[in-house]
Amino acid sequence: MSHTKISSAQFFVAMFVSRVVVTIALNAHYTGGENLLDNIISNLLAMALSLLIALPIWLALGREHSASVPELAMSSLGRAGGLIPLCYGLYFVLAGGTSLALFQIFLMDTVNPGFSAALVVTALLAVALYGAVRGLETVARCAVCVFAALLLGCGLVFAMASARFQWGNLEPLFYNGFGQTRQGVTLFLARTSLFADMAVLLPQVKGRKKLGFVGWMLGTALFMGSLIFLLAGCLGRYAYTQNFPVYVLASLSEVRSLQRLDAVFTGIWMMGLITKLAFDLYACRVCFTALTQRKEPKPALWLTALAILLLALFTAQSRAMQDFLLDTDFLFLCTILSGALLPLIVWLACCLRGRRARK
């Protein structure tokens, strides 16, 4: 695969979009409690822990960042190294499938469109697959456009919703203890695929990557903190009863010419989801290349897209699969495995190989 370079700004803007679209489905069930304000602290703690989780990635990639973690695994671990790109490929299928399933659940339970929700998610995945086939630069450019639309759309929703803000709806921090804060930290990290994306795609990024990573953390903390603060102040305890309170906030906000803004919210989610899925699929291309040591066959990418679609459809239709695949603790373990543990193993293997070579 030809390694087309994209800028650090493009990459981390895309990661910001991906992060936002998988956390706007927040609700009291996943956050572990009713006090939304506690989740502002949770988000800040999760961003701080991101520095620690990402450390093995920076160590494994080294100063040059010339090869991805899957590629380094193949060169340093021999045949056993093939497990690393395989694990990353499975993770991206899981991340894409669960993100798509959340959107399908949203369509079926909240929007209730007059047409098949499965057809909508299939179309979204098809667009993402086209982007992944075209290449990383195409997806990155699309992500910048989505980022601009996200800021404009969310800015409009936030501005309209602020008219409903009431300070009396806010509750004291840690009113029910620290359990929800701990659960929120786990949730925010569980739904963050940035670390795996960095491990696989960072060699194709040019520019000041560490500065971009810090910018991603600050931007994510500011956006999510503002969103949670508005939810708590505008909806109060009503937010705790809703499966998708952000959608409710958008649907209660009106502009005379646009009427309700729920369509804006849905459109932003769809565009952001396409970006995330395209990055997941392209990352799978890199894993295929590392595993086979040659350009990946196109049918492999099509089969990956099919696996993501089937996983999403079955998860959306099965309560048992939702309880398992959307479980916060399970996704958190997957994040730690792909974002920290696998790069740490590869880094240690590279260090051991270099020591042997010097001897």
Between the alpha carbon of residue 87 and those of residues 13, 70, 230, 295, the distances in Å are 25, 9, 38, 19
Q: How many CB atoms lie within 10 A of CB 251?
A: 18
- Name the residue among 87, 8, 111, 10 with its Cα closest to residue 346: 87
Q: Are strands 205-206 and 6-7 parallel, antiparallel or unpaired?
A: parallel
312 band by pLDDT with thresholds 50, 70 and 90: very high
First to last CA, the chain: 34
Structure tokens given for 95: 């991340």
Query: Which pLDDT value is given to residue 268?
Result: 82
Residue range 306-311: mean pLDDT, rounded? 94
Residue-level pLDDT at 2: 46
Cα distance between residue 38 and residue 295, in whole Å? 47
The whole-number pLDDT of residue 345 equals 93
- What's at 207, amino acid-wise? G
What is the pTM (predicted TM-score) of this model?
Answer: 0.90
Mean pLDDT of 282-295: 85
**Exposure on the CB side of residue 134, measured as CA atoms within 13 A:** 13
Distance of CA 240 to the CA centre of its chain: 23
Per-residue pLDDT, averaged over 41-45, amounts to: 90
Residue with tokens 């993100």: 99
Per-residue pLDDT tens digits for 248-258: 777 776 555 44
* Confidence band, pLDDT 50/70/90 cuts, at residue 28: low
As a whole-number percent, the residues of the chain with pLDDT over 70 amount to 89
pLDDT value of residue 175: 67
Coil vs helix vs strand at 259: strand
Show the tokens assigned to 241: 């009863």
Task: Name the pLDDT band for 35 (thresholds 50, 70, 90).
Answer: confident
Q: Kindly state the average pLDDT of the residues 176-205.
A: 87
